Amino acid sequence: MHIRPPLFLLTGFFWLFLSGLLGVALFVGIISGSPLPPPWRLVHVHGALVGGVAQMILGAILAFVPALLMTGKDRPESHPVLYSLINAGAVGMAAGFAVGQPTLVAAAGLLVVLAFLAVVKEGLGQVRSSLVSPPLNLWFYGVALAALLVGLGLGEAMASRLISPAQHGQIRLAHIHLNLLGFATLAIVGTMHNLFPTVVGAPLYSPKLARWTFALLPTGIALLIAGFLLGQLYVEMAAGTIIIAGSLLYGYNVAQTWTAAGRPGRIASDHFMLATFFLVLTAIVGLGVAVNNLWDPTYVPIGKLHLVAYTHLALIGFILQTIVGALSHLLPIMLAVKRVKSHKKRGPYLEELTGIVEQWRPLQVGAFNMGTVALLFTAGLVWQYSLRVPAVQTAAWISAGLLTVGLLVFGVKVVRLLRCQPPEKTHQDD
């Protein structure tokens, strides 16, 4: 069986789907007063980020980098070793956290490191052999991969007990933000500068704004990590301001591109636009959290549910929603190209696949976004009421229900896409 980039995307979504359902169960446990054991939170987080997000970004890099550098003819289409490394690493991490074995977590993390080191090596080789200058997207990928490797290194150091427990708080913050902001966010933003114009059928509004985004976001992230490691709150606040500026420039560029395209109403563009809003909102809330820490005790009390809501602004509102939008656009195209060789016969089949993706558009888009908003509303209510108050319970169950519906609706679509074969036997085997 050939292991091509689309399989990375589908397997990554499978990880996200299962991790998302586990996340809903963890949330329900918190609000019902019967929380699941703490290790399951780590299983949820690392299953989603390593098995899901990291694997899908790896697949995107494998698919897009050869095309950007025009080196695809000399590169293998199948990547069984990378596929095995990333999934064995994700399984090992999840199992290690579930049974409380840091050594297993560290060993599994090394597999993930090896997978991305191989990608870095391959990418550098393609850059050297390419006859074109590396486009801006590739610079985003380069910085994102560097951030990931440093973040994984910090995670390895904690799992291997190379860092004293007294430093775990600072190191954990750096580890999380390197992976979420430095890797996932930069890789997504870099991809969107090419993918979003393709989805809406219009050129990017301003390549200059894209370059400013690239200058601001990595600078802000680097300062933020320095602030965490040095314990300097004012450095963190300065970094947050820069990240907000970069996010706003990116959001403005996306919005103007969408406007110039005539504000198309497609499920992929809906998800992308709303995900961009949540990226900006997450950056603003993050700065607010830093400012709140100027007081001791904090001016606004922050509890577990508030942190869950804040982190999931990024995890669901931005990252998951962007991935769902990207799959909504890419999966029909990839399946049509793979299964139908004839360009003439491919059109009707692609339309059929696209029609499946566009079904239940208001339900899918609304469920993901309203579920995220309901989670924020639930956290806000906790400032005034306890978890046992009916209003809080109702808001929490609405949030959990909406997020589950969003996952299930899109999951059903993915299954239907995979089962929908072209009318003639023109598909090729894996």
Q: Do residues 381 and 390 make contact, with C-beta atoms less than 8 angstroms apart?
A: no
With bands split at pLDDT 50, 70 and 90, how would you rate the model's confidence at 428?
very low
Q: CA nearest 402: which of 379, 373, 378, 381?
A: 373
Which DSSP symbol is given to 428? -
Task: With a cut of 50, say whether residue 12 has pLDDT above it.
Answer: yes
More confident residue, 345 or 241: 241
- pLDDT the model gives residue 71: 64
Task: With a cut of 50, say whether residue 125 has pLDDT above it.
Answer: yes
Euclidean distance between CA atoms 199 and 128, whole angstroms:
30
pTM of the entire predicted model? 0.92
Q: CA nearest 16: which of 8, 6, 4?
A: 8
pLDDT digits (tens, 9 = 90+) for 270-320: 999 999 999 999 999 999 999 999 998 888 888 888 988 999 999 999 999
Task: With a cut of 50, say whether residue 412 has pLDDT above it.
Answer: yes
- pLDDT the model gives residue 63: 81
Tell me, rounded to whole angstroms, the distance of Cα 381 from its chain centroid. 28
- pLDDT the model gives residue 70: 65
Percent of the chain with pLDDT over 70: 95
pLDDT digits (tens, 9 = 90+) for 215-225: 999 999 999 99
Residues in the chain: 430
pLDDT digits (tens, 9 = 90+) for 21-72: 999 999 988 888 888 999 999 999 999 999 999 999 998 888 877 776 666 5
Lowest mean pLDDT among 120-124, 146-150, 274-278, 401-405: 120-124
With bands split at pLDDT 50, 70 and 90, how would you rate the model's confidence at 430?
very low
- pLDDT the model gives residue 97: 94
Token pair 């050939």 in the structure block, residue: 2
Cβ neighbors of 66 (< 8 A, separation 6 or more) are 72, 75, 126
Q: CA nearest 119: which of 131, 127, 129, 130?
A: 127
- pLDDT the model gives residue 164: 83
Where exactly are the structural domains of the chain? 265-420
The token pair that represents 61 in the structure block: 């890099």
Q: CA nearest 184: which of 371, 315, 46?
A: 315
Compute φ and ψ for 189, nearest 5 degrees: -60, -40
Cβ neighbors of 144 (< 8 A, separation 6 or more) are 57, 182, 183, 184, 186, 187, 190
Token pair 């169960």 in the structure block, residue: 25
Helix H or strand E segment including 325: helix 321-339
